[in-house]
Structure 1
Amino acid sequence: MRSPHLQETTLSGLAKTFTKPRFLPRHRAGSRRRWSRIGIILPLWCALVVAGCSTLPESSAPRPFDVSVPDSDPIELSADGPTDGADPLALLQDFLLACAAGPNDDFATARLFLTSDSAQKWNPESEVLIYDTSSSLRLSQVSNPESDPLRQQIRLEVPALASVDADGVMTLATQTDIDRTFTLVKEAGQWRIQAPENSFLVSRSSFIASYELANLWFPSTSLDALVPDPRWYPARRLAGHLLSGLVAGPQASLNQSVSNAIPGGTTIPSQGVEVKDRIANVRLNAAVPNDQKTLQLIAWSVHETLIQAPSITGIRLTLSGETIETDDLPSGPRYLLDTGIALTQSGLGIVSGSSVAPLKAQVSPESGASLPAMSPVSSSLIAWKEDSTLVVARGHEDTWSSARAPISSQTQGLSIDRFGWTWALGSSSPEAGQSSIVCVNENGVVSDVNVDGDVNGKIRAIRVSPDGARALVIVDSDGVQSLWMAGVVRNENGTPRGLHQPNILFANSWNLIDASWSGSTGVVAGFNSTHDTGQSQSLLVDWNLGGFYQMLTLPAGTTSVSAGTSSASTIIRMSDGRMQYRAGALWQQLAQTVKDARYSG
């Protein structure tokens, strides 16, 4: 019998508990039953066929036939309810197991561990608190069991990794620990948890087993591209969650950078999304727009969002009973993310993988030129910096033209967006603690960009995403650089007007070296990190937008980082001026004639 007296406990053994028979992964409901029926029916069917056929045909024309393939859905987790007579510590441990399986049974099992009143009020999906699978949960007793034998309090602590809110938006942890106190009371002679916070705690491995990262695709404000809004939703009923997310609209940081073609006030039938033969029947209840363009945008957005569900390959869409065409959808811009621009000893070059080919252009940078940049949609629009001057060059067949504009000498990077605007720091002296941002097009037209929010430092560089809806912002605060992300606000012609709601990424004490977009939905960032021992190390953070990140080692002396279609196509610049490119786990020397190079991100 367990002692009711709880001492401070490290739950390193909690992971072992997950392997017990009462907490087993299982495949989606129906697949196991389907095959067990087949095992019974198949012998009987074969016997009937043999009995009904005296001879078999020796030759005939081949005919198509269909076979049923078992679902390859993600694994589901399950857990048992509370054990009679369980002490507070055992009950809390089992409750955590039930929470990990909660997304697969709507937390029905987890509610059995709560008092009757708490079970009705608890809303665990308000926030998911995620910790690293390799971490150990620490439990310690807060109250004295002898002072109140019918009421206990247990404190739980574990290093924090991330959290996901009720809308599916993940935020990387800014605090070091998750710290929760659980109150347990006796109800009908059994310990039960009273009034837990509206959240649940889960390890990263259990979270990934039950949730999937998918994008809600919203039209850009220019209505010619779709912009990803990454969300984490339970894999169970994923299509329904995706559709509900689209109807609800984009997250706050994007609400001025995208539009929602789905009319306001739209509702979804209670049955959600019905899937038959891998085709999703989507029914929306809303006022039908009058113009064909809006209807096409609705179909485009819904189609690209829902086909991320493994069970869906196409959609049938109706709006208040009216069928919306889904066969002729736009394709969006074509991004050239595997091509970069280089400044070489002889002029300009095009980077592709490990090779650098000369760019035949009628414009030539001066010997001290730096910070090359290229458009994500055209290799004929490029830019670079000469002292305090921005040069923007455009090629038209065999003819090149260029425009010049004054910029700040403090600019640490240039970025060209898909609308043809080159982002830099303004030449005018900004007020103390603030930075001026300007955008220049190929005709030399300058557009000032306002920042809606405080970035706690001076902006040094902007990196605009391929779709033009987001910007990475490199900020300097007393010699320590950090990375921020903001939504890009534009007018109807695509002209940049502002940065909306900048938020810091990777809130840690590391000093940012440089950052770049990686493909359409990834970010790579170089950091200098100092260990407790005083030793420093350069790290490359590879982050999938809205998800987790992984870290790789960078060569010491890295001063700039740029990625193409993925982190696997990264080029870096060293403090001695050498350029290197990533080749698997190694870094190889780029052509010695290259002085600087960047991909479009």
Structure 2
Amino acid sequence: MITPLLMALLAVLIAGCTGVPGTGPVVAVGTGPSEPVAPTPAEVDKNLAPDQVVRQFLESSADTSRDVSRTAPFQTARNYLTEAASKSWQPQNNTTQVVVLDAVRVNAPTAGRAAANQAEVDVQGTQLAVLDADNAYRATAPTEYNHSFGLVREQGEWRISNPPNALVLTQSQFDAAFKQRMLYFVSQDGEVLVPDPRWIIPGPSPKDRAAALVDLLLGGASIGLSPAVQNRLDGGRLRGNVELDPQNGDVKVDLTGVQPANQQAQLQLIGQLVDTLAPTEAPGVQISIDGQLLGGRAYTPRDTQSLDAEQIPAVGPSVPADAYYVNSGGHVLSLSSGEAMWGELGHSAQVKAASMSAANGAVAAVVTSGEQQKLTIGRPLQYQPSTTVLTADRLTAPTFDRSGSSVWVVQQTDDKTDVRQLTTTAPFGQQSVTVPDLADLGQVTALERSPDGARVALVADKKLYLGTVVESDAADGAETGRRAVSIVGPTEINPRLTDVGPIAFQSASTLLVGGKQDPSSVFVTLLQVTVDGVVTTPNASSDISDDVTDIAVGNQDIFVCFQGRVWKLDGTLLAGVWEPAGSQAGAQTLGSRPFAPN
């Protein structure tokens, strides 16, 4: 079995490249000879000690730019193995293709364990993540990794007899060799495309990357996402190699075994390929089925905008992009004008948190009522009063679906935790969302739906979890018209994140999280976390001087709260600065819980 990882590795040398991004310039190549001669594998130094053999083996297997051919991948690394081990070592066929460590510690042979013709060398490190067989990155709880390399002498030189099943890379080696790319699949309702991050070795040209990505698309969604999406390429295969049009650089893909049932299904198939491949790898994509070019032309992302989860569906009057916050008195005020929101939310209610749908202007708010909290739904922008639809001991901030037709909250009592889905129009029907073992996670303090509706992020016991949303036929569906809804998972997506508080989806593939990547951090700061658990600290976070208590995203604006004030990002997370949010330039807005139509 040849996996997409191996095909990507092979492509590096087939195209004659001698480096990967981070080690040298990437040279774009055309459609030259299909089978150029691979470079000669590097020679192994003579008279190496056992630990030197192990160290150079690990370095060689991490260098994905060299010594790869169709018949003998990782040839230089194999030169450090015994003849028998060299023939049997197939890391590309393993369930776990890569083990990512914080650092690799190669120990010298322990005294008494090395004999004239045998030796053992221990390699240790802290495991941070793995790359699974489908090229999906999976962060793991920090655990000790250990492999005892057995070495024997062959022709007078030390050689490894038991290499590990997977490639062993440090985090820095992995980051240099692999790059994240998004595959796209179709949401359960068929309305939008859903991103699915994978990690590939980029290769020297768009053609190599496109071929690897198409192979992964044909293989289907990653294990965690697959219950929540459809694949219009399911059952398909390539009729020939993925090619580039020499005139304009378009990717050319010719499929067989797929036949869209209707125009919408054809658009979804086009969308999966176009959003995965263009414009990152090519300006457009020419898609053929059994040799027939669909539409007689190339497709670009402009053709698939209707499937973009970031686009707000037009289901009602346009909603102004104004942002709001809750002042110290518990009232909702406009950040731009300082005026109170119409109705009880702006004048009399004690608001704990609120959300607004960008699709229809519905506002769901959690309001304190004595020792309990109640959820209200209304349309204050249309002067429609709020209605109480749910009461509980504790409620999380509400989160809308993309169309604004339903809102989700977590209701909690001392002995029960339950996710509720409620419709946003009278008679405000509600149902329970099934989440296996939810109560075992601890107190849930936040829940957010992704813009595409396929995922749910939640915070429990200060840990970040991600699950997928699956709908199925309900037992009473014929009478009620309802569908049963469940969350598959949820799974802690990066166990190294601690003290997690506020969360918000920045996009369908990325969360903004208030938390700590390092337990020794002084503050709960703003982090970016992709849905596969990769964490980065934006440059803009360096200006945050206290715990981040709230995060909001809307109309491409980002708001946070720290020091009891509301701040708005001026610029990007890469190079922006935090400015006081409010109606008067430079004035500090005291308050919390900012929200914007989303």
Shorter-chain TM range is: 0.7 to 0.9
Distance 2:507 2:561 in 1: 16
Match of 2:217 in 1: 246
Offset of residue 266 of structure 1: 1.8
Match of 1:389 in 2: 374
Q: Using a 3 Å threshold, how does the CA distance of structure 1 residues 437 and 174 change in structure 2: closer, same or farther?
A: same
Q: Are 1:572 and 2:561 counterparts?
A: yes
- 2:509 maps to which of 509, 517, 521: 521
SS at match of 2:238: coil
Q: Using a 3 Å threshold, how does the CA distance of structure 1 residues 595 and 27 change in structure 2: closer, same or farther?
A: closer
Matches within 5 A, 1:19-418: 25-27=23-25, 80-102=42-64, 105=68, 106-125=73-92, 126=94, 127-132=97-102, 135=103, 137-142=105-110, 144-146=112-114, 148-236=115-203, 237-263=208-234, 265-269=235-239, 271-277=240-246, 278-307=249-278, 309-310=280-281, 312-325=282-295, 327=299, 328-332=303-307, 333-335=309-311, 340-344=323-327, 348-351=332-335, 355=336, 358=339, 361=342, 364-365=345-346, 366-375=348-357, 377-378=358-359, 380-387=361-368, 388-394=373-379, 398-400=382-384, 402-418=386-402
Distance 1:138 1:462 in 2: 43
Question: Is the contact between residue 523 and residue 547 of structure 2 (CA under 8 Å) also seen in structure 1?
Answer: no
Offset of residue 154 of structure 1: 0.8
SS at match of 1:117: helix
User: How many pairs does the alignment contain?
Assistant: 515
Give the aligned CA root-mean-square deviation in angstroms.
3.6
SS at match of 2:393: coil
SS at match of 2:392: coil
Gaps of 5+ in 1: 1-20, 35-75
Q: Using a 3 Å threshold, how does the CA distance of structure 1 residues 213 and 530 change in structure 2: closer, same or farther?
A: closer
Offset of residue 28 of structure 1: 5.0
CA deviations on 1:484-523 (whole Å, 9 max, x unpaired) are 1101123599967111111013314832222222233222
Distance 1:395 1:496 in 2: 31
Distance 2:497 2:185 in 1: 34
SS at match of 2:230: coil
Distance 1:306 1:540 in 2: 30
Distance 1:224 1:253 in 2: 20
Q: Using a 3 Å threshold, how does the CA distance of structure 1 residues 357 and 409 change in structure 2: closer, same or farther?
A: same
User: Which amino acid is the alignment partner of residue 456 of structure 1?
Assistant: L
SS at match of 1:418: coil
Q: Are 1:499 and 2:487 counterparts?
A: yes
Match of 1:510 in 2: 498
Q: Using a 3 Å threshold, how does the CA distance of structure 1 residues 523 and 495 change in structure 2: closer, same or farther?
A: farther
Question: Is the contact between residue 153 and residue 183 of structure 1 (CA under 8 Å) also seen in structure 2?
Answer: yes
Gaps of 5+ in 2: 1-18, 33-37, 313-319, 474-480, 583-588
SS at match of 1:85: coil
Match of 2:594 in 1: 597
Distance 1:283 1:152 in 2: 52
Distance 1:261 1:120 in 2: 38
Match of 1:485 in 2: 466
Q: Using a 3 Å threshold, how does the CA distance of structure 1 residues 217 and 593 change in structure 2: closer, same or farther?
A: same
Question: Is the contact between residue 439 and residue 447 of structure 1 (CA under 8 Å) also seen in structure 2?
Answer: yes
Distance 1:467 1:359 in 2: 31
SS at match of 2:441: coil
SS at match of 1:569: strand
CA deviations on 1:533-554 (whole Å, 9 max, x unpaired) are xx95433332233363234465
User: Which amino acid is the alignment partner of residue 355 of structure 2?
Assistant: A
Distance 1:167 1:338 in 2: 40
- 1:561 maps to which of 539, 551, 557: 551
TM-score, normalised to structure 2's length? Answer: 0.76
CA deviations on 1:308-363 (whole Å, 9 max, x unpaired) are 543x2211112233332364445334447986442356954455xxx456476466
Offset of residue 593 of structure 1: 6.0
User: Which amino acid is the alignment partner of residue 526 of structure 1?
Assistant: G
SS at match of 1:247: helix
User: Which amino acid is the alignment partner of residue 440 of structure 1?
Assistant: L
User: Which amino acid is the alignment partner of residue 388 of structure 2?
Assistant: R
User: Which amino acid is the alignment partner of residue 565 of structure 2?
Assistant: R
Distance 1:164 1:392 in 2: 43
